[in-house]
Amino acid sequence: MGTVSVLVVSAAEQDHLSLSHVFSHSNWRFDRARTCAEALELLKRSGVAVVICAAELPDGGWKGLLDKLTAQPAPPPRVIVASALADDALWAEVLDCGGHDVLGMPFDPPEVIRVVSLAWRQWKHESERRGRDSGIRRIAGE
């Protein structure tokens, strides 16, 4: 399956601790950021497939981060929004804006594993597809 790389963006230490515990039973790579700016700097230096982003951050929110990530030419990380107010309206908004899913808080470990695994598989599939497509364009001389 490969190594799942996850970035958790939250100002709340409890979110980092909770997700660290969930991911401790896996071989997943887990990075942390407390602000959008910190997350963007970290994302420039490392290949992250999945971002779990708190709905509200000190320097913005999930929408601003998602906008910046989806503007990337390479397959952008899949963004999962975490909120204590996770409801159908937030879920629809996240999907409409290009996000992957919503996780309710407090975190339910099996649900976190399920949602992150699916997001990673979709990111990996898109990465592989883009690699095949670019190889085909090179062969075709485009």
The structure's pTM equals: 0.89
Question: Which residue ranges of the chain lie beneath pLDDT 50?
Answer: 136-137, 139-140
Closest to 99 (Cα-Cα) out of 67, 132, 59: 67
Domains with residue ranges and CATH for the chain: 5-140 (3.40.50.2300)
Report pLDDT for 133. Answer: 57
Cβ partners under 8 Å of residue 109, min gap 6: 21, 22
What does the pLDDT read at residue 131? Answer: 74
Give per-residue pLDDT as tens, 56-89.
Answer: 999 988 999 999 988 877 889 999 999 999 999 9
Token couple for 58: 């000190």
